[in-house]
Each structure stands twice: as structure tokens, then as C-alpha cells.
Amino acid sequence: DGDAHVTLVADAAKEMLKRQHKQKDWEVVVPLELLLQAEKTKRTFNIVLGSIAAISLLVGGIGIMNVMLATVTERTREIGIRRALGAKRRHIVTQFLVETVVLSVGGGLLGIALGLVIPAGVEHWAKMKTIVTPEAPVLAFAISAGVGVIFGLYPAWRAAAMDPVEALRHE
């Protein structure tokens, strides 16, 4: 392995310089070590950014769930009427899941638009090269829809679990 030879040669050069010079008026810089340090820093940076993204998705999902729970509460009577007219639980679940997905996809589309406009603005005004791969918006859209479905399951299930008679009595 060539990397091991570079490190061994650098260590040998350092030892030789230590023996030949009483003062440390020298320095051995190994570009490979700098590269390894840069990769370690990049890995740490990716972990921090991934953690921030995960927390943001969690907060966004909880927000979607709260909005949908409020919607279920506001529409209790409607749910009772639909159930009394023969709608099955799966129909109610489907209705609220579709609403949740529409909400999250709308937010996802807005996020994708910002994710494309901001890098273009950075390139234009800051004269810095930015790269947005074609897969990134597709992945963002899929994650947005997935978060909507996951966090919309509980409100949809709760709406479907309502007793039709009690829901009809609700004011």
C-alpha cells in the first residue's frame, strides 16, 4: 500500500532531521496527512448537517401532525356524517392521508424551489460555484412526501377511529 510507504518515509525523515538538528528549525509536511485530516473534518461536518436535517424533518413532521389533528377536530361532525352515510374507516384514513400528502408535497415543492433559487443567487451575487445534482430535488420530494405520510398516519387513524354517533353529536 502506497499510503503506508509515505507515512514510513515521512517518519524516517523526521527521525533523521531530529538527529541532525539540535534545534527544531525544520518541519515535515505530508500532504497525505492533510488529506486524511480534511476527510475527517468533512465526515464530522456531514454528521452535523445530517443531524440538523433530521431534527428539521422531525419538527416539520410534528407540525404537519398538529395541523392535521386540528383539522380532524374541526371536522369531527363531517367525519360522523360520512361514517353514518356508509364510509368505511379506510375511506376516512385515505381522505386524511391524501390531505396530509398534499400539505407535505406543497411544502416540499416550495423547499425544492428555494433549494434551486438560493444556489443560483449565490452563484450570481457571490460568484461562488454551487452544484445541485439532479437527484437532490427528487430525493427531497420523496422525503417530503414520506414525512407527510408517516406523520399523517396518527391523525388519519384517529379520525377513522371516531364513533359515528359521538362524532354526529359533536358541536
Q: Is 123:129 a contact under the CB 8 Å cutoff?
A: yes
pLDDT digits (tens, 9 = 90+) for 79-118: 999 999 999 999 999 999 999 989 988 989 999 999 999 9
C-alpha dist (Å) from residue 134 to 112, 114, 139: 11, 15, 9
pTM metric for this prediction: 0.73
C-alpha dist (Å) from residue 73 to 7, 22, 64, 70, 129: 66, 81, 14, 5, 48
Residue 59 has pLDDT above 90, yes or no: yes
Residue 34 has pLDDT above 90, yes or no: no
Residue 2 has pLDDT above 80, yes or no: no
Nearest of 134, 131, 83, 137 to residue 108 by alpha carbon: 137
